[in-house]
Structure 1
Amino acid sequence: MSDIIAADQLRLFIERIERLEEEKKGIADDIKDVYNEAKSNGFDIKTMRSIVRLRKMEKHHREEAEMLLETYKQALGIE
């Protein structure tokens, strides 16, 4: 009897994951559409993606990443 319950529970988990994967795909498609719309309005997508990535970071992590980038640029003579 417990094997049947475990199998039912497993099936429910798998079905939930499948639904969430479908939702994730839909959201990813929506995000792609927004980037394409921005691009058609003259915005640089690569830069926008960088800004989104930076805004996700905590302030101290962002500052650390910016300092490290600056250090690397200086070491390579890029300015």
Structure 2
Amino acid sequence: MSDPSGVAGDQLRAFVERIERLEEEKKVIADDIKDVYAEAKGNGFDVKILRKVVSLRKKQPHEREEEEAVLDLYLQALGMNGPAS
């Protein structure tokens, strides 16, 4: 039902409680991911590069190719790498 202000209190409370539970789950998952990166670092892996690999794997091949082409173009414009062969 609605309270005098027109807000369905029970429904609103249910939404807020669901969001709170999901936020807690998100925190637990974020902590788990942090632990995996720490474990990888402990085994000699470069975490910065590992994060980049994870990021690249989320993208479609054409997105990666386009991003790499633009990056190469920018680096060439700045004189930071040799001309394309």
Question: Structure 2 length as normaliser, TM-score?
Answer: 0.86
Identity of aligned residues (%): 67
**What residue is the counterpart of 2:41 in the other structure?**
39
Rg: which structure is higher? 2
Q: 2:66 aligns with which of 55, 64, 67?
A: 64
| TM-score (ref. length: structure 1) | 0.92
- Distance across 1 between alignment mates of 2:80 and 2:47: 23
Instruction: State the SS of the aligned residue for 2:3.
Output: helix
Superposed, 1:47-62 pairs within 5 Å as 47-62=49-64
Structure with greater proportional helix content: 1
Q: In the alignment, which residue of structure 2 is the partner of 1:14?
A: 16
Q: Which runs of 5+ in 1 are unaligned?
A: none
> 2:76 corresponds to which letter in structure 1?
Q
Q: Match for 1:75 among 74, 77, 82?
A: 77
Q: CA deviation at 1:78?
A: 1.3
How many residues of Structure 1 are paired with residues of Structure 2 in the alignment?
79
Deviates more, 1:69-78 or 1:12-21: 69-78
Q: CA offsets per residue over residues 18-74 of structure 1, 9 Å max, x none?
A: 000000000000000000000011100000111111111122111111111111111
Off by >6 Å, runs of 4+ in structure 1: none
SS for the counterpart of 1:2 is coil
